[in-house]
Structure formats: structure tokens, C-alpha cells
A and B are shown apart, each in its own frame.
Chain A
């Protein structure tokens, strides 16, 4: 019983409870016939949200006002340029990934340069940056849909041991992120900066360096996600990142990470990402139209945050 109570206090448990409930509701409606398909689809699509969500979580943990609005543009640019570079050549898959990561690093450096040198609030700095990155993507893409290399397309769309490959990628990166946050000095620094930037500075933490690395990390994760998503969906499209802007923020917050910063949560991102996908597919199975689906999604997000967010308002 005490173990159950301790579990209930974990901020991430609620997103999993919600995801499981919605999953069960959908399965019950279809009489269990869609169990495997639904679970695989959920894991696949959640994997992409998880990748961008983790990056966004690192940034949000840095404290109030820190947010990366450049995520969708970075995804698009990285996906476009990487696919163009690989040019359906299977041997260039790894160099292509490196190209995508390099774009992420470049965007991250650009973001932080604006924040630090021009002292622009992160929300506006990353917004301005996203305009420029998006333009670059339009310029390189020219409306053409470039196909991914065959082996890569196969890897991203297939499953091994019944679990989608992209979910494995997300799992590996999540574990790395968890270790980074919980077990390394860098992770402690992020949390400390998020809790009080003044105190962190006085404690001798390299605040600028930590923030710099964090913005790069977020952009790199977005770039990797763009690379995988473009390969998964058979080519890079200019609007492929657009839905991930709100999604990346939503999964972080529903997952139990404090919006005020200083307290992050990797498992919650998994629960929230699965939940976000499952809600939409549940409403689809119930035959709801686009309008109803949007309204329900919104109301459910609010309901979850009201139930989970107000748990202990006196904390902090």
C-alpha cells in the first residue's frame, strides 16, 4: 500500500494512467481486434514526439521563459538537407545522420547566440531563428519530395521483436537523457539553473556554458527526429514539423515536468506522447469528425493538467 502511495506521488504516473485508459477504451470499442496494430502505431508516432519532447524538456528545465520554438523548422531543415545529401544512396546513411546533427548544432549555436549576445528572450530569439531556418528549408527544398535511401526507409518503418525500430531509437536516447539528467554533473547544473539562476551563478556553475549546450542538445534532438521522420514518411515535406511545435511543449508538461523549470521528468514524456497519439486514434475509432476531435483533444489536455498539475500547489 505504501508502495502504491509512493507510486501515486510520482508526477509521471498520471500520464501513463491516462494513456492506458485511452488505450483500453479504444481496444474495447474495436473488440480487441486492433490491439497489435494500435500499439505499434502508438509506439511509432510517440517515438517522434518523445525525441522532440526530450529536447524541449531540457530547455524548459532551464527555468521560466526558456523554450525552443525553433523545433519544427529545425526538423524540416535537417530532414530536407539530409535526404538531399544522401540522394537515395544506402552507403550515405551514416554521413547523412551526421549532416542532420551538424544542422542541429548550427541551429542551436544560432539560437543561443541570439539569446546571449542580443539578450533577446528565448521565445522571441528561437521564433526569429525559426523564420530564418524555415526560409532556408524552403530554399533548399524547392517543393521537391526527395526519397530516403531504401535501407533507411525500411529501418524506420519496420519492427523488430514486434516493437517499431524508431521506438528503440527513442528508448536508447531516453535512457541516455535520463542518465544525463540524473547521474551527471551537467544534469544537476540544468536543474540548479532552473531552480534559481542567481544561486546557480553564485555556486560557481558555468551558467552560460550549460545553457549553450542545452539549446544545442535540443536542436540536435529535433534534427535527429526530422531525419527519422522524413525517412519514415517517404520524404521531407516543408510542413512536416509544424504539428511538433505544440506537441513538444504539450508532452513535456503533461509528462509532469515543471513548467517553471528545475524539475524534469523523462518517463513522463513517454506516457504523455503515447497518450497524445492514443487520444486522437481513440476519437478516430469512435468516428468523430475533425472538429469534435480537436475539441476533445483540447479538453482532455486541460483535464489532465487540472488533475495532475494541481496535485501539490504548495510545493515550490
Chain B
């Protein structure tokens, strides 16, 4: 029994369990949610959050933290709703420049040995300013093809679920199964030993940041596909949501211990928590507070299961 469940599986079990419990309670409160349309509505907004969470998780893999995630996703949403829609070539160039900026940020943080929190804090002002310049007032229009993808209705399984599973599987293979992923996690775990083994840490960091930017860009584009219009403050919550999602999914701030599947589940849990609260008819005053309480309960649950695991090991 003890052999079958590795500690990584247990790490994944807790977020999965909390999601299931939350889903069952939602179904209990509102049986009509148990349908194709219901599920789609419940999880629709989780797609961009899941992508942003994966982006944040990549940054956390190399022991950094990105406080500019929310403003960056907002900026991308603004670009997608304006340039990418009107002049696709220019739009793609801007997105490429954004990826390059992220890679440069990674290099800068590494070379000058800077705290990532402060650099990304500064960048959050920059992205916010750029977004305000592009769209001073809410507006713009989502490109047709994104809209088509986001509202498409594949048979049997809603788009939101298919997208979430795809994100989880792709990032799992990228981070947990590829040699690139192993180096990334190695940088988070013990940078010196990775360096001694002959890999360039600068290159690894730059690649991590660039990849994170790609996921964040996908988050911004998919968000615009759902909302059809953008606004400079559209995704500010994503900074904290993405960090909370990674932690809920069993990731850690240091040591390169992350779980992509867990991160996606964490993002789904956070999205569902919002719907759960509105089904409970909690007064709007307490909605945010109850979200905090759910976060605490889930993490408390994790502690409990961790204790059980340790006791089992000792026995």
C-alpha cells in the first residue's frame, strides 16, 4: 500500500480531492449545473486562470516570483483586442517582443543577482502603463478565430474541460517529462550542481521566463476570447490567483517542487470556489472573505493529509 502511493501522488491527491468535494457541493446545491452547458459555464473562466497559473508556476520553478502576472495578462488582452485583431502581423510582433522582454528580465535578474519580486513589481507598472496607453477606456474587439475557439462546442465534453486537460497534459510533459523540465527544476533545487554538471543557468532562466511569457500570452488571448472586449485592468486579480493556484496545487515557493497538473487543478478549484459561493447565496459582502476561508480550509486539509502520510511512513 505504501509503495503504491508515492509522495508526489499524495501531493496531487489533495488538490484533486478538494476539487471533487467542491464540485459535489456545487452539484448538490444546483443539480442543473450537472450538464454540458452547466459545466461549461462553471469552468469557462478557468481556462485563462489555468494558463496564468502555469506561467506563474514556471517562474516559481526557478525560485522566483512574478508579481506582474496580472498586469501582463491585462496588457496582452489589450494587445489581442486591438493590434492582433486589426493588424495581426504587428500584433504578433508585439507578442514576440513581450516574450523577448520576459527572457531579458530573466537574464537581468540572474546576471545582477536581483530579487525577482522587485523587478517584476517594477515591470507590473510598465505593463500597466502600456495597457493604459493602448486602451485608455475599456473596448477593443476579440479576433474572430479566438472567439470561435473559445465558444466552440465539441461533442460530449465542454471546451473548458478539454482545454484544461490539454493545458495540464502539455505542461506536465514539458516540466516533468522533458530534459528541459528537469534542468528547470534542477535550477530551482540546486542551481550550483546544475551549473557544475555543465548547463548554462542563464540560458535556463531565460528559457523559463520566455516560456512563462508564452503561457501568460495564451492566458491573455483566451481571456479576450471569452470576454470579447478588453480593458487595462481586466486581469489584475491574476497575480494573486496564480500564486494561490500553484500553492493549492501542491507547489512550493522554493526548491523547484512544482506540479503542473496540480496547478491546473488549483486554478479550477479557485474558479469553482467563486461559483460555489454564489450558489450558496452568501451576501456579496462576504464573498471575498469566504473565498479566503475556502483557501484556508483546503490548505488545512493538505496539512492533515501530510501528517497522515508522515505517520504512515513511521509505522
Q: Which residues of A contact B (CB under 8 A)?
A: 64-65, 69, 114, 118-121, 123-125, 127-132, 134-136, 138-139, 246, 249-250, 253-254, 259-260, 289-302, 305-306, 309-310, 313
Note all chain B residues with C-beta closer than 8 A to A290.
Answer: 129, 132, 136
Q: How far is the CA of A296 from the CA of B128 in the complex (A)?
A: 11
Minimal Cβ-Cβ distance residue in A for B295: A128
Minimal Cβ-Cβ distance residue in A for B133: A291
B117 touches A295 (CB 8 A): no
Contact of B243 among A124, A302, A306 (CB under 8 A): A124
B295 touches A118 (CB 8 A): no
CB distance from B209 to the nearest CB of A (A): 15
Question: On chain B, which size bracket covers the interface?
Answer: 35 or more
Note all chain B residues with C-beta closer than 8 A to A135.
Answer: 285-290, 292
A309 touches B124 (CB 8 A): no
CB distance from B61 to the nearest CB of A (A): 16
Contact of A128 among B108, B287, B296 (CB under 8 A): B296
Minimal Cβ-Cβ distance residue in B for A69: B240
B113 touches A291 (CB 8 A): no
Note all chain B residues with C-beta closer than 8 A to A121.
Answer: 247, 252-253
CB distance from B77 to the nearest CB of A (A): 16
Determine if B211 is an interface residue (Cβ-Cβ < 8 Å): no
CB distance from B289 to the nearest CB of A (A): 3
CB distance from A80 to the nearest CB of B (A): 13
A301 touches B292 (CB 8 A): no
Q: How many A-B residue pairs have CB under 8 A?
A: 140
B118 touches A294 (CB 8 A): no
A292 touches B286 (CB 8 A): no
B102-126 vs A: 1/0 string, CB under 8 Å? 0000001000111101110111111
| Given A64-B254, A120-B299: A291 touches B129 (CB 8 Å cut-off) | yes
Minimal Cβ-Cβ distance residue in B for A247: B121
A139 touches B285 (CB 8 A): yes
Q: How far is the CA of A289 from the CA of B129 in the complex (A)?
A: 9
A138 touches B295 (CB 8 A): no
B119 touches A302 (CB 8 A): yes
Most buried by A among B114, B129, B303: B129
| Given A259-B118, A313-B112: A298 touches B129 (CB 8 Å cut-off) | yes
Note all chain A residues with C-beta closer than 8 A to B139.
Answer: none
Note all chain B residues with C-beta closer than 8 A to A129.
Answer: 292
Contact of B124 among A125, A138, A298 (CB under 8 A): A298
B277-313 vs A: 1/0 string, CB under 8 Å? 0000000011111111101100110010000000000
Note all chain A residues with C-beta closer than 8 A to B293.
Answer: 128, 131-132
- Considering only residues 171-205 of chain B, those with a C-beta below 8 Å from chain A are none
Determine if B26 is an interface residue (Cβ-Cβ < 8 Å): no
| Given A124-B247, A134-B289: A253 touches B117 (CB 8 Å cut-off) | yes
Q: Is the interface of A mostly helix, strand, loop or mixed?
A: helix
A305 touches B292 (CB 8 A): no
Minimal Cβ-Cβ distance residue in A for B126: A298
Minimal Cβ-Cβ distance residue in A for B115: A259
B289 touches A114 (CB 8 A): no
B295 touches A124 (CB 8 A): yes
B296 touches A250 (CB 8 A): no
Q: How far is the CA of A298 from the CA of B123 in the complex (A)?
A: 6
What are 5 contact pairs spanning A and B, CB under 8 A? A127-B244, A128-B292, A131-B295, A259-B115, A313-B113
Minimal Cβ-Cβ distance residue in A for B128: A294
Q: How far is the CA of A154 from the CA of B296 in the complex (A)?
A: 42
| Given A65-B253, A121-B247, A293-B129: A298 touches B299 (CB 8 Å cut-off) | no
Q: How far is the CA of A88 from the CA of B128 in the complex (A)?
A: 38
B215-249 vs A: 1/0 string, CB under 8 Å? 00000000000000000000000001001100100
Q: How far is the CA of A259 from the CA of B108 in the complex (A)?
A: 17
Determine if B69 is an interface residue (Cβ-Cβ < 8 Å): no
| Given A259-B118, A295-B129: A131 touches B288 (CB 8 Å cut-off) | yes
Q: How far is the CA of A314 from the CA of B113 in the complex (A)?
A: 9
B292 touches A131 (CB 8 A): yes
B122 touches A299 (CB 8 A): yes
A295 touches B125 (CB 8 A): yes
Note all chain A residues with C-beta closer than 8 A to B67.
Answer: 246
A114 touches B296 (CB 8 A): yes
CB distance from A308 to the nearest CB of B (A): 10
Q: How far is the CA of A295 from the CA of B113 in the complex (A)?
A: 23
Determine if B130 is an interface residue (Cβ-Cβ < 8 Å): yes
CB distance from B60 to the nearest CB of A (A): 11
Q: How far is the CA of A274 from the CA of B114 in the complex (A)?
A: 22
A118 touches B303 (CB 8 A): yes
B244 touches A124 (CB 8 A): yes
Q: How far is the CA of A120 from the CA of B113 in the complex (A)?
A: 27
B296 touches A249 (CB 8 A): no
A120 touches B129 (CB 8 A): no
Note all chain A residues with C-beta closer than 8 A to B288.
Answer: 131, 134-135, 138
Most buried by A among B132, B291, B293: B132
Q: How far is the CA of A114 from the CA of B108 in the complex (A)?
A: 35
Q: How far is the CA of A136 from the CA of B288 in the complex (A)?
A: 10
Q: How far is the CA of A118 from the CA of B296 in the complex (A)?
A: 8
Note all chain B residues with C-beta closer than 8 A to A249.
Answer: 117-118, 121
